Amino acid sequence: MATWQIVQKSAYLSDFVELNKNLQQAVVKAVTELEQDPVTPRGDTIKKMKGWKNVWRYRLGSFRLVYAVKPEAKLIQLLAIGPRGAIYQRFNVPDSWDAPDTAVSFGPELAAKPEWMNHPEWFQPKEQKSQKEKLPRKLTPSLLAKWRIDPQFQEPLMRCLYAEDLLNIPDNKVPADVLGRIMDGLYPATANQIAAQADQVLFDPEDLIRYAEGTLTGFLLKLDEQQEPLTNWALAGPTLVKGGPGSGKSTVALYRLREIVTHHLAETGEVPSILFTTYTNALINSSESLLRQLLQDVLKLKSNGSLPKEIRITTLHKTAQWIARRSGEKFDMAWDNQREEALRAALASLQPKELGDAAKIVTANALDGLREDYLLAEFDWVIEGQNCHSEADYLAADRAGRGIPFSQGKRKAVWQLYTAYRENLLSQGKYTWGHLIQFALNQVQSGEFSNRWDYVIVDEAQDLPPAALALAVELCREPSGVFLTADANQSLYNRGFRWTRVHENLNVKGRTRILQRNHRSTRQIAAAACEIMAPIPDFDAEVMKQEYVHVGTKPVIYGAAGSEDQTRWIANQIYQAARTLRLPINAATVLVYSSSVGKPLANTLTECGLPAKFMNSSQFDLEEPCIKVTTLHAAKGLEFPIVVVAHVEAGRLPRETDATDPDEIVTHLQEQRRLFFVGCTRAMRHLFVTYDRQLPSSFLADLTDGQWQWESSS
């Protein structure tokens, strides 16, 4: 039985598929041996590599298998395998290397800058290559077949002579994952590049053979010691997992579902009923794609890859629609302009027509100065969001985070206005999403809708209204089956509700865990993003006390001379960052405040030779072979290696407001600041922020040279 756990880097897998079958079998045998003891030297077979603290090599004739060990975790990381000379070159171990005994540790710090770069006396640096870099190997049919490249993609690849040719292949000709395999084969990763790669779990060394033969498509990412206990099926709920951006909350939620399914299949032979829900359609789409991968070794999926009917992945709003349809009710949802018209009509109806109309005068005075968008948000997040059915309910509602304090008299006036507003909508046969959630919640609580799920998993819970969360709790057969992930710092609406007021069964006291390791962004990106949030008083600093797996360079802020210069600079940075990361350009996304900015920007990027497409939340497709241009709201919960937050300019971010009340202005600016923070924390390795230097956003004034690199057009 194995005593050490084995994980592997993608660089190692790329090396492995290059080996002949006999050598592959020898590697599997060696890995099986290492599972028992990777750190006891055995003649010339197993030795620690010179100049490294925790890196060893296993000799296989003229080949070397390189691995790192973490004795405290009983963990082996398979890093690379190849001919002796090539391996030593990749790991900078020349025969003449005179490094000190306590040289370099293999770990995340290596991803940013190898320690030996600070010691030129250790070795002679190589000459810089010319910018026009010829491919190191000719792409032939036999080589591409060896790398398991489908014949349909081979023709455009074989025409490539230079690295630039590969990066400029249209995405509809060669998919991103195929191009990634080509780059890995042509340019074996260096030690610092390998350090930046995620750990993939190797459950059985024989899986390497299946992977090389193509019968195993990939490996699961490894959970760390903070995350893994939270996926355990026996964890008594309701449970809340908190964490900052990139802490792996969503990953934990997905693995939690997998663990539940695995356990129930082993115990009963049946798949349990699970409702997995989250905030946006884009996040639902990406979650479903990831779950298909996670469950493919657990479930016998249908030929089209659909998940079994017992597992439902959808937003809570769509769940409410489904409940309404099951009841026979038809809800015609109101558009934003229809809601605005209904509100204006309600306001007009409450205006006093005569001087002696004291009641209406009092109501009108109480409502004076409250903007329409603020009132609609009050309806959405407090009245309907907290399932208020009466004035008494509203008078008792929690308005934390709304910015403007309301007296009892002002609340009564707002309730009168809401009643008139709702009557106006209903007279037209129109409903709001809040109405729909309230209806669905009533159907469930009254027993009219009897379906229940064994487990309900809510990802990004902080961005759902309390009534929607209450619906999620009611839909779970037992409170112990409820599992939430949340981060108050990423809330787009700053509502500040308390979990205990959402539902009597949602008592997470003593069952709240905090993830404090950031797996997404580099330390530099996270530190820069924290500057954005620093001015907000209720910034949850505890959640942001994170360890960082990755390190890198400072994010860049670019002041452009107009939109054309801004787009050209964005195109160039995406291209250069993709080359640095050895990724296709569709690893990048550009985030903007609105579609009016995003659509023309996507068109211009395409004209620059970088295929781009604007996608809203409902259209978002992670597998689309292009640069994704989308809104900051739609990107919530997603992550990308390269992120550009574009047009951070006055009037756009923060957007303009006609608010005059000081508290309301503060609330508006805090919401916009959170949105900027959310956008920046989508970045994994490279973050760029751009603006027109004639229209700088006020938010940029809070950002310092210490955390950001500032550039501008000449």
What are the pLDDT digits (tens) for 319-330? 999 999 999 988
Residue 31 above 60 pLDDT? yes
Helix axis angle, 662-680 to 523-533, nearest 10°: 170
* pLDDT computed for residue 498 by the predictor: 64
pLDDT category at 658 given cuts 50, 70, 90 is confident
How far, CA to CA in Å, does 541 sit from each of 275, 534, 651?
A: 31, 9, 29
pLDDT tens, 523-568? 889 889 989 988 887 665 555 566 776 777 899 999 999 999 999 9
Q: How far apart are CA 520 and CA 141, in angstroms?
A: 37
* pLDDT computed for residue 115 by the predictor: 40
Residue 210 above 60 pLDDT? yes
Sequence-distant (6+) residues with CB within 8 A of 571 are: 605, 608, 609, 610
Name the H helices within 124-239: 141-146, 154-158, 163-167, 176-186, 191-195, 207-213
pLDDT category at 219 given cuts 50, 70, 90 is low
Structure-model confidence comparison of residues 34 and 234, the more confident one: 34
pLDDT category at 304 given cuts 50, 70, 90 is low
The tokens describing 250, both together, are: 């969503």
pLDDT tens, 703-712? 999 999 999 9
Mean pLDDT of 484-494: 63
In this predicted structure, which of 3-7, 141-145, 281-285 has the lowest mean pLDDT?
Answer: 281-285
Residue 203 above 60 pLDDT? yes
Q: Which of 1-5, 156-160, 321-325 has the highest mean pLDDT?
A: 321-325
Mean pLDDT of 392-399: 91
Q: What sign results for the dihedral spanned by CA atoms 206, 74, 259, 514?
A: negative
CATH 3.40.50.300 fits 223-328+436-518, yes or no: yes
* pLDDT computed for residue 551 by the predictor: 75
* pLDDT computed for residue 494 by the predictor: 44
Q: Give the CATH H-level superfamily of domain 532-712.
A: P-loop containing nucleotide triphosphate hydrolases (3.40.50.300)
Residue recorded with tokens 């801004």: 566
* pLDDT computed for residue 214 by the predictor: 64
| 99-101-105 Cα angle (round to 5) | 85
Half-sphere exposure of 705 (CA within 13 A, CB side): 1
Residue 395 above 90 pLDDT? yes
Q: How many CB atoms lie within 10 A of CB 46?
A: 20
Residue 22 above 60 pLDDT? yes
Structure-model confidence comparison of residues 358 and 110, the more confident one: 358
Mean pLDDT of the chain: 83
Q: How far apart are CA 456 and CA 476, in angstroms?
A: 6
* pLDDT computed for residue 104 by the predictor: 58
Mean pLDDT of 47-63: 90
Q: Which of 193, 219, 392 is nearest to 294 (CA)?
A: 219
**In which element (H, E) is residue 377 found?**
helix 372-378
Q: Which of 579, 586, 580, 675 is nearest to 626 (CA)?
A: 586
* pLDDT computed for residue 418 by the predictor: 96
* pLDDT computed for residue 125 by the predictor: 33
Residue 448 above 70 pLDDT? yes
Question: Three-state SS for 710?
Answer: strand
Sequence-distant (6+) residues with CB within 8 A of 705 are: none
How far, CA to CA in Å, does 562 sit from each of 160, 574, 588?
A: 35, 19, 22
pLDDT category at 631 given cuts 50, 70, 90 is very high
pLDDT category at 293 given cuts 50, 70, 90 is low
Residue 359 buriedness (CB in 10 A; 0-12 / 13-18 / 19+):
exposed
Residue recorded with tokens 């045998």: 29
* pLDDT computed for residue 98 by the predictor: 45
* pLDDT computed for residue 493 by the predictor: 43
Predicted structure pTM score: 0.63
pLDDT category at 617 given cuts 50, 70, 90 is confident
pLDDT category at 661 given cuts 50, 70, 90 is confident
pLDDT tens, 450-487? 999 999 999 988 888 889 999 999 999 999 999 999 87
Of the options 1.10.287.130, 3.30.2310.20, 3.40.50.800, 3.20.20.60, the CATH number for the domain spanning 1-91+187-222: 3.30.2310.20
Q: How far apart are CA 73 and CA 71, in angstroms?
A: 5
Mean pLDDT of 137-142: 88
* pLDDT computed for residue 488 by the predictor: 58
Instruction: Give the gyration radius of the chain's Cα atoms.
Output: 28
* pLDDT computed for residue 350 by the predictor: 93
Percentage, residues of the chain above pLDDT 90: 40
How far, CA to CA in Å, does 90 sit from each of 82, 83, 98?
A: 10, 11, 17
Q: How far apart are CA 351 and CA 459, in angstroms?
A: 43
Residue 497 above 60 pLDDT? no
* pLDDT computed for residue 486 by the predictor: 86
Q: How far apart are CA 144 and CA 699, in angstroms?
A: 49
